[in-house]
Amino acid sequence: MENRILVKDRYFVPYIPYERLEQAIDAVAERINHDFKNFNGTPIILCVLNGSILFTGELMKRLNFPCEFSSIRLSSYEGTLSTGVTRKVLGLTSSIKGRTVIVVEDIVDTGKTITDLHALLLDAGAADVKICTMLLKPEVYKKELKLDYVAMEIENRFIVGFGLDYDQLGRNYKDIYILDTNTPRTMRKHFLIFGPPGAGKGTQAALMIERFGLRHVSTGDLLRREIANGTPLGQQAKTLIDQGLLVPDEVVEGMIASELDANPGVKGFIFDGFPRTTAQAEHLDRILADRDGKVDAVVSLMIPDETVFERIRHRAEVENRVDDTKPEIIQNRIDTYHAKTEPVISYYKGKGCYREIDGLGTIDEVFDKICAVMKDYE
């Protein structure tokens, strides 16, 4: 078992080794075998994808009575929950009418999913539905539904491995790992991707998070999310963004502090579109210092104003950003950049962490230049 693994942008440390999982599966399989020894009929083992794929495989190898196999997914919640069960069973291949079904889950926490599924399967005509879960978080399980077979109980922590994922990654580890909330904060790295509108900050940040395992924080994206959700903050921001002006410093500063605090176990951050004023840069230094951190490097993509126009005009054809639509708004964004954001360059030059890169060239060429700079911080 690895001492520490990086899954996407977070560190995880060992929690349950495979050998202990095997013992727990042996024990739960023995109980199921005992209960179904003289069963009259053929139960269906129902694997709930994706999480329980490894557990189901291990469990089935140990079952010694005739059984069929089927798998399903559950749709995400639709509409309001007050109207009752709003999920659907997807991909069920065998008919379960009149059959006994043993549902195999990877983990049960609050119990909402398993309770919904239990009801849906009975509605679909199953004669009996047994629940078998690899893991249970008893601290948070709130339902009356009896869980017939529980291989292991665990505390309420965030885990990956043995089928369980973080953002679809990490399922393939055979052991289970737990989010490392004890990584010293001083180990966290903080990078900025800087540059005028359309310089390629978002494009390159997407490549950087994958290559370097960093968490992306784009204030523009966060503000657009607020706008899409129609929050008061979003409404205030929309008026300014639509004109190509900056939103007030305090608004974005609050967002950054919450991102820093809401993400334990993260290897590092890449801030995109922040800071955009010297006041924001000073604020960032303060909030990082409060958390034992600092700005490690400012990766600055420089392109001339004509290229800004070209790239944003091109993006307007594929994306639907209001601030990309009119030349006068794009011009305002460029003017705002020169007036308010460009001074941030001298601020970071003074601190010795400013790394300028020519932002012209293909996306891959620019990324190669960024990787050459990032080598100094690995």
> Residues in the site for ligand AP5, rule: CB under 6 A?
195, 197-203, 219-220, 223, 240-241, 244-247, 252, 273-274, 276, 280, 311, 314-315, 323, 333, 361-363, 366
Neighbours of 114 (CB within 10 A): 24
Give 138 or 304: the residue with its C-beta nearer to ligand AP5: 304
Check residue 316 for interaction with Mg ion (CB under 5 A): no
Q: Is 321 a catalytic residue?
A: yes
Neighbours of 252 (CB within 10 A): 23
- Name the minimum Å distance from CB 203 to ligand AP5: 3
- Name the minimum Å distance from CB 265 to ligand AP5: 25
- Name the minimum Å distance from CB 273 to ligand AP5: 3
Using CB under 5 A as the binding criterion, the count of chain residues that bind Mg ion stands at 2
Give 43 or 244: the residue with its C-beta nearer to ligand AP5: 244
Q: Is 276 a catalytic residue?
A: yes
Give 109 or 221: the residue with its C-beta nearer to ligand AP5: 221
Contact 137, 107 (CB under 8 A): yes
Instruction: Calculate the alpha carbon distances from 234 to 63, 135, 251, 258 in Å.
Output: 55, 40, 10, 16
DSSP codes joined into one string, 167-188: TTBSTT-SSEEEE-TTS-GGG-
| Cα–Cα distance, 317 to 312 (Å, whole number) | 9
Q: Which of 8, 10, 171, 201 is catalytic?
A: 201
Check residue 202 for interaction with Mg ion (CB under 5 A): yes
Q: Is 10 a catalytic residue?
A: no
Q: What contacts 132, CB < 8 A, 6 or more positions away?
A: 28, 32, 59, 102, 103, 104, 105, 148, 149, 150, 151
- Name the minimum Å distance from CB 197 to Mg ion: 8
Give 29 or 270: the residue with its C-beta nearer to Mg ion: 270
Residue nearest to Mg ion (CB): 202
- Name the minimum Å distance from CB 276 to ligand AP5: 4
Check residue 14 for interaction with Mg ion (CB under 5 A): no
Q: Is 291 a catalytic residue?
A: no
215 binds, among Mg ion, ligand AP5, none (CB under 5 to 8 A by kind): none
Q: What contacts 290, CB < 8 A, 6 or more positions away?
A: none
Q: Which of 31, 73, 174, 321 is catalytic?
A: 321
Q: What contacts 314, CB < 8 A, 6 or more positions away?
A: none
Q: Is 333 a catalytic residue?
A: yes
Q: Is the dihedral of CA 199, 201, 203, 208 positive or negative?
A: positive
Give 162 or 274: the residue with its C-beta nearer to ligand AP5: 274
Binding site for Mg ion (CB under 5 A): 201-202
Q: Which residues are known catalytic residues?
A: 201, 276, 315, 321, 333
